Amino acid sequence: MSKRPRTLDSFFSPPPKRVRQPEENSGTITTSAPGQESSSERKLSRHPTYPFPVPDLPSCISDMLNFAPAVEPRVINDQPDLNLLYYQPYVPKEIARDLFEFLRRELFFYRVRYMIKRGPVETLINTPRFTTVFGVDETARWSEDGSLNDCKSGRSVSKDGYKCKPRPLPHCLDVLRTLTEGATGCQFNFALVNYYANGKDSISYHSDDERFLGVEPAIASFTLGARRDFLMKHKPTPEAHVSETKALKLPLGSGDMVLMKGLTQSRWLHSIPKRTGGEADRGRINITFRRAMFKGGTENYYRYNVGDGEVYRWNEPRQEMLPWKTA
């Protein structure tokens, strides 16, 4: 791959960051793919909880990630309780499309359905997007053989220690997590991935203020693929004069990242609304890195992002997510 062109500004900027390899305790078992040899052999992340192996990032992508973040962030803190760092973009433009297509093609996804109860009424919820999740909370740690150990005792976590089956981040996501930690000074142990197939896929107003995320959590949210509007509005809390705040709309493009921190989650709501036609129909991936502190966080994330449904995988000839068959 040719070297990245140097500009006048680059000579006065710090040297690009080098990608630090994921920690050994990530629990991901990486091996070469069958039938491939030499130094260019393809590497795969494997784990018993994966329905199929996930390839490592190709060098053409991982090499360019050395230049992330591509720009310095814009600080948005001019409204009550709002604390954002907005990178436009974080992922270098030269690889944003390739990274999107790689993750869409190589990751496994789910279309989660679950029941919620409001009073005596139970309602079936169909998640309006494809989801998947990797990671485990702070009470456990992956060993080198891919098993889970309790952080306090050091002993292996029993089979009934979790109702779900936690799984480590594959190398392709762990590289991005490591870079993000280095750039932001935050720590993350979860990667939630959403795939919005078209403009009809969405997420309603909500905040990520669950107790298992701790006080004033930091969440790094990446956009890859289609540009989608990211809407924010202040919660109607008695602590703030909502009339003094204005709704916010960020047109997140491919490679952009928003770091939400401070009081943002406890005081603000955010959403990705439906959009008709246009760029939204070309598909969007959203990756959010988070840090769960307790087991309840692990149970929550796997329930609502994996569930009990079938596995989906991107079908290149048909250009859509289809149920994955092991046969």
Binding residues for substrate: 209
**Positions at the binding site for 2-oxoglutarate:** 194, 196, 206, 270, 284, 288, 290
**At a CB cut-off of 8 Å and minimum separation 6, what does 201 contact?**
128, 129, 130, 195, 274
Contact (CB, 8 A) for 86 and 223: no
**Positions at the binding site:** 194, 196, 206, 209, 270, 284, 288, 290
Contact (CB, 8 A) for 225 and 283: yes
For 34, the token pair is 């069958």
Distances (CA, A) of 179 to 49, 80, 91, 271, 288: 25, 30, 10, 26, 13
Residue type, 256: D
Is the preceding peptide bond at 217 cis, omega within 30 degrees of 0?
no
Residues 207, 210, 213, 214, Cα dihedral to 10° = 110
How many beta carbons lie within 10 A of that of residue 20, not counting itself? 11
For 210, the token pair is 């669950």
Class of residue 271 by CB neighbours under 10 A (exposed 0-12, middle 13-18, buried 19+): middle
